[in-house]
């Protein structure tokens, strides 16, 4: 197969089976690492065969698909390697939460190393660099400062949002806050990735253009015509011991506020996926997803696409879900712009990868930070309902910050 990549002559693409590479993250060079890892499997990449800033606007996902079609071989991506999802050329991507905000990006790495279901392979484009693996560096002491709002200011925003919900303006809104971390030395993204993958193996550890994190939420996985989504909404902190942990989980399952929040999220997924699918299944009751720092209400959604839409088409239909925006979506998005007081950048936006067949995996960029040199903006968000308590929501956000704080501090 050859890939155009905007050059006058197509560049050759080679996919070669390899032996077990061990820790995929250990193969990454320090410069611009790309990653999507869960339970030790997934894909990593380095080098840049092609990169584009996706223009903001309501048509950005369609624009991205058109660009990828040209780069990876034409509409429908013909000629892709048939070894399954993630073989052949792959593009990593990150889209901003707000469709009108700049910062969305797609990158086709020159080299991709992947492992899935006992198979491993290396894909290279042209004369791809092997990547010089240097020792992972520690950033040293980390200090923290307020982001766009102080904690009391954010609590005030939560109270205002809850009052608007009680007044009947909308059902739910998700409000985020940021925290600024500054290190003694430049932050090595590989260190963050290795810590996150080790501590949160059930999450999707990702790195795309400086956006790094470990998200528990799978927005969409497309494998042929089959799709899968994991919906999370409703959260409680882990307990101080096994008994407290069980009690907190039981209380979460019984919480009217959290169950309603979860039902809003499931309804938004049904609405988004219904027109694209010939079949769609959602569970009657959520289950508990227990992570090292929090517990979530979780529901697995599965379906079959009706018309061969690519994974990006599904992402376009689903974003933003009620789990990261609110209900109704348009009113929640308007309230976020009015009250939140910050640019989310890629936080709570789609992040993931797509291959030349239109298959791929995309998550919601939660539990994440935007790394630039010695600084990192950390993000956390909470679903606000009419009976939300600002102090409790602040505590939940602080619990979510601990994921990236652990990645920075160890």
Residue 5, pLDDT score: 63
Q: What is the CATH number of domain 2-134+141-409?
A: 3.60.120.10
Q: Position of tokens 């993204």?
A: 189
Q: Position of tokens 């995929």?
A: 24
Choice between 32 and 107, residue whose per-residue pLDDT is larger: 107
pLDDT, the chain, mean: 91
How many Cβ atoms are within 10 Å of 129's Cβ, its own excluded? 13
What tens digit of pLDDT does each residue of 168-194 get?
Answer: 999 999 999 999 999 999 999 999 999
Provide Rg for the chain, Cα atoms: 21
Residue 73 neighbours by CB under 8 Å, 6+ apart: 1, 2, 3, 4, 79, 80, 356
Mean pLDDT of 7-35: 85
Residue 327 reports pLDDT greater than 80: yes
Q: How confident is residue 122, by pLDDT bands cut at 50, 70 and 90?
A: very high
Mean pLDDT of 363-383: 96
Q: Position of tokens 């994921």?
A: 403
Among 217, 261, 263, 396, the one annotated catalytic: 217
Distance, CA of 128 to CA of 201 (rounded, Å): 29
Whether 172 is a known active-site residue: answer: yes
Sorted by where each begins, the domain ranges of the chain are 2-134+141-409
Closest CA relative to residue 376, chosen from 180, 200, 185: 180
Per-state percent for the chain, helix, strand, coil, to nearest 5: 30, 35, 35
Cα torsion 311, 71, 368, 139: sign: positive
Residue 268, pLDDT score: 85
Rounded percentage of the chain residues whose pLDDT exceeds 70: 94
Residue 76, pLDDT score: 36
Whether 287 is a known active-site residue: answer: no
Residue 195 reports pLDDT greater than 90: yes
How many Cβ atoms are within 10 Å of 395's Cβ, its own excluded? 13
Residue 131, pLDDT score: 64
Cα torsion 246, 250, 251, 255: sign: positive
Q: How confident is residue 135, by pLDDT bands cut at 50, 70 and 90?
A: very high
Cα separations in angstroms, 241 against 231, 237, 249, 259, 288: 27, 12, 12, 24, 17
Among 99, 155, 171, 172, the one annotated catalytic: 172
Mean pLDDT of 52-70: 95
Cα separations in angstroms, 341 against 99, 147, 338: 17, 10, 7
Residue 74, pLDDT score: 41
Distance, CA of 105 to CA of 102 (rounded, Å): 9
pTM of the model: 0.92
Mean pLDDT of 68-91: 69
Angle between helices 311-318 and 256-273 (to 10 degrees): 130
Residue 6 reports pLDDT greater than 70: no
Residue 340 reports pLDDT greater than 70: yes
What tens digit of pLDDT does each residue of 341-356 get?
Answer: 999 999 999 999 999 8
Residue 396 reports pLDDT greater than 60: yes
Q: How confident is residue 294, by pLDDT bands cut at 50, 70 and 90?
A: confident
Residue 255, pLDDT score: 94
Residue 80, pLDDT score: 45
Residue 75, pLDDT score: 32
């Amino acid at each position: 197969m050859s890939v155009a990549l905007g050059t006058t002559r197509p560049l050759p693409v080679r996919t070669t089976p390899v032996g077990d590479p061990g820790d995929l993250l250990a193969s990454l060079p320090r410069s611009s690492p790309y990653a999507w890892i869960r339970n030790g499997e997934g894909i990593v990449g380095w080098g840049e065969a092609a990169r584009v800033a996706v223009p903001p606007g309501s048509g950005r996902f369609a624009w991205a698909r058109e660009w990828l079609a040209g780069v990876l071989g034409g509409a429908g991506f013909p000629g892709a390697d048939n070894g399954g999802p993630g073989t052949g050329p792959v593009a990593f991507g990150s889209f901003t939460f707000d469709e009108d905000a700049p910062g969305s990006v797609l990158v086709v790495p020159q080299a991709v190393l992947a492992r899935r279901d006992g198979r491993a392979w290396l894909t290279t484009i042209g004369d791809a660099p092997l990547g010089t693996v240097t020792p992972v560096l520690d950033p040293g002491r980390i200090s923290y400062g307020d982001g766009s709002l102080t904690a009391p200011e954010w609590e005030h925003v939560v109270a205002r949002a809850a009052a608007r919900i009680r007044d009947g303006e909308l059902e739910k809104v998700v409000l985020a806050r940021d925290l600024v971390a500054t290190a003694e030395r430049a932050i090595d993204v590989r260190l963050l990735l290795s810590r996150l993958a080790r501590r949160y193996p059930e999450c999707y550890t990702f790195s795309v253009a400086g956006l790094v994190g470990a998200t528990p939420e799978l927005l969409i996985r497309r494998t042929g015509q089959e799709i899968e989504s994991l919906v999370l909404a409703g959260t409680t902190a882990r307990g101080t011991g096994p008994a407290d942990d069980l009690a907190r989980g039981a209380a979460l399952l019984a919480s009217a506020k959290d169950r309603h929040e979860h039902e809003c999220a499931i309804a938004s997924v049904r609405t988004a996926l219904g027109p694209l699918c010939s079949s769609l299944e959602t569970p009657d009751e959520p289950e508990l997803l227990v992570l090292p720092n929090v517990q979530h209400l979780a529901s697995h959604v599965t379906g079959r696409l009706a018309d061969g839409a690519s994974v990006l088409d599904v992402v376009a239909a689903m974003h933003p879900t009620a789990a990261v925006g609110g209900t109704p979506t348009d009113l929640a998005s308007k309230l976020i712009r009015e009250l939140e007081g910050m640019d989310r950048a890629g936080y709570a936006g789609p992040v993931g990868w797509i291959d030349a067949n239109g298959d791929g995996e995309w998550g919601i960029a939660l539990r994440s930070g935007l790394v630039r040199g010695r600084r990192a903006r950390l993000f956390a968000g909470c679903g606000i309902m009419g009976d939300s308590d600002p102090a409790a929501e602040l505590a939940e956000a602080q619990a979510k910050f601990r994921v990236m704080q652990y990645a920075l501090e160890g």
